[in-house]
Amino acid sequence: MALKNILVHVTDSDQSKRRVSAALDLAMRHDAHLTGIAVAPTIDLPTYAAPEIPENVLQDIRAQHRARAAKAHEHFETAAQRAGWAERIDWLSTQGDPVEILSLMARYSDLTIVGQSSPPNTPNGEMTIAHELVLQAGRPILVIPFAGTPCPIGEKVVVAWNGSREAARAVGDSMSILERAGQVDVLSIQPEGIGDEPGADITHHLARHNIKATSHRSVAAMIDASDVLLNYVADNGTDLIVMGAYGHSRMREIILGGMTRQILDHLTVPVMLSH
């Protein structure tokens, strides 16, 4: 899959500026068009409460939303101009449920870029929509850490491999990035049902695409598999994780814990997710 049409969620936060910078770098490296989108939430009031809210209060809230969208647009345009990519961008600003709107727009894009949740008590912080978006969009989602990320993304990639449908989809969705990577590691953590050499078949598949990948196997004895993956990333200077998302139901992961949720909560480098 070539990356020729990238979508990035833009807000007026400092976190968004770092996300836009990463999106522009990726677009430039792949000669891709970049679309920024700001989504103002709708003002949903219970029927019994609506008559009690003065119209001037609602107008003030709408004005605040417009001001924040205008600021986000300014950040996006300025960053694109500084990067010399202003001729290859578009801008969308709308109102509604961010997950629903971004899910729809993601279906017309090769990759959608969103942010990780801000730490608690962060001024003008953001809540991640990646948990829901990856399930609804039907397209790959790239999540940028709250603190941003050094560019470029995709020089040293680790593929989290367990032989699942979701993992296979993630590999297929990331081929354009893997083809340009300087190093690709396939990491299998406590694999089950995919043989004594769990990463061998997928590395052979990648080799046929001229992607030289190295297979690694690890065991999560006393710690979570997500911690094994994050430790591997830290020890090896990885700048991108490619993985399938929600191999189990999301409700099961909420109740019992799971790889996807743990990685999204604690990621230190960008993660590209497919479901």
Q: Are residues 117 and 211 in the same domain?
A: no
Identify whether 90 is part of a domain: yes
> Which residue range forms the structural domain that includes residue 217?
156-267
- Specify the amino acid at residue 193: G
What is the pTM for the complete model shown? 0.90
Cα–Cα distance measured from residue 20 to residue 25, given in angstroms and rounded to the nearest whole number: 9
Residue 178 has pLDDT above 70, yes or no: yes
Q: Which of 10-14, 58-62, 115-119, 225-229 has the highest mean pLDDT?
A: 10-14
Identify whether 149 is part of a domain: no
Q: Are residues 128 and 49 in the same domain?
A: yes
Q: Are residues 21 and 124 in the same domain?
A: yes
Q: Are residues 177 and 80 in the same domain?
A: no
Q: Are residues 87 and 121 in the same domain?
A: yes
How does pLDDT run across 25-34, given as a tens digit for each residue? 999 999 999 9
Task: Please count the structural domains in the chain.
Answer: 2
Q: Are residues 112 and 208 in the same domain?
A: no
Identify whether 113 is part of a domain: yes
CATH of the domain at 187: 3.40.50.620
Using CA atoms of 77, 268, 162, 219 in order, give the dihedral in degrees to the nearest 10. Answer: 170
Q: Are residues 114 and 223 in the same domain?
A: no
Model confidence band, residue 172 (pLDDT cutoffs 50, 70, 90): very high
B/e letters for 158-176, b = 16+ CB within 10 Å, e = fewer, are bbbbbbbebbbbbbebbbb
Q: Which of 109, 144, 179 is the last residue of a domain?
A: 144
Contact 141, 114 (CB under 8 A): yes
Average pLDDT over residues 207-222: 87
